[in-house]
Amino acid sequence: MAYKSLEKYLNSSALCVVADCCIVPCRDILTRTRDIMINVDLIRQEDDLSHDGYFISIHGLFLFLKGDEKMIKKLWEKCVDFHGHECPGLAIGYKASQAAKEKLKIDFSKDEDVVCITENDACGVDAIQVLLGCSFGKGNLIYRGTGKQAFSFFHRPTNQSIRIVLKPFQVEMGREERQAYLLNAPVEEIFEFKSPGFQLPERARLFKTIICENCGEGAPEHKIRLMEDKKVCLDCFKDYSREL
């Protein structure tokens, strides 16, 4: 968060532009990015370049300042490095993350405060892992396999959530053209914004490890079954069900 660094510039002439912008709504600021670029540059020098914009709060107004093109390019490159190649699918995840950041006023999640429920396991999810810190290992990336290009984001501390759904493409485009379109178009043009129709699962819990009495491998308590008086793992458990 750039808030601390920003204070340093409160008396500098450069910040006048920011202060001026602070009395206009957030949406207007996004169209006036160039006016505030000089300030973003100043703030950025002390930042780790992991953000594509900044939230600042002055006089109770919470504003999102978009970063410059160089910084945005850097974030895209980070996603490409992680994913292995650039493609339109990765661009979908990149823009969905950007939209989530703007709409929920969130940023990279070092803990589990931001949770993503992805409805597909395609390229775009990789950008979300890089930009928002939602990962399988941290328990804040959850798979819900409808196969749709839809991503829901939850912010636990504020209880806010949003479901971001890719709009069907209206025109035929080549791969490169589509990628460029996705990266440059406003998020409102690319996505529909809805409320998730499902609840967020509880935070990841730690469970006691139980050793399977059949194979000797350990598994968390909630994955253990009872079979012929023995505690067994799911691999060893022979399911019995006559339910239809």
Q: What does the binding site for Zn ion look like in residue numbers (CB under 5 A)? A: 87, 89, 123, 212, 214-215, 233, 235-236
Residue number with CB closer to Zn ion (67 or 89): 89
74-104: string of b/e by CB count within 10 Å (b at 16+)? ebbebbbeebeebbbbbbbbbbbbbbbbbbb
Sign of CA dihedral 39, 42, 46, 48: positive
- Structure tokens given for 114: 């931001």
Q: How far is the CB of 3 from Zn ion (least distance, A)?
A: 35
Q: How far is the CB of 103 from Zn ion (least distance, A)?
A: 25
Among 125, 19, 123, 107, residue whose Cα is nearest residue 67: 107
Running DSSP on this structure, what letter comes out for residue 214?
T
Residue number with CB closer to Zn ion (91 or 115): 91
Q: How far is the CB of 174 from Zn ion (least distance, A)?
A: 15
Tell me the residue ranges of DSSP E strands in the chain.
53-58, 61-66, 114-118, 141-143, 150-155, 160-166, 191-194, 209-211, 218-220, 225-227, 230-232
Residue number with CB closer to Zn ion (20 or 221): 221
Residue number with CB closer to Zn ion (138 or 231): 231
Cβ-based neighbour number of residue 52 at 10 Å? 22
Residue number with CB closer to Zn ion (55 or 76): 76
CA distance linking residue 12 with residue 115, whole number of Å: 38
Cβ-based neighbour number of residue 141 at 10 Å? 20
Q: How far is the CB of 207 from Zn ion (least distance, A)?
A: 16
Residue number with CB closer to Zn ion (65 or 166): 166
Residue number with CB closer to Zn ion (63 or 87): 87
Q: How far is the CB of 92 from Zn ion (least distance, A)?
A: 10
Q: How far is the CB of 131 from Zn ion (least distance, A)?
A: 15
Running DSSP on this structure, what letter comes out for residue 112?
S
Q: How far is the CB of 227 from Zn ion (least distance, A)?
A: 10
Q: Three-class SS string for 8-71?
A: HCCCCCCHHHHHHHCCCCHHHHHHCHHHHHHHHHHHHCCCCCCCCEEEEEECCEEEEEECCHHH
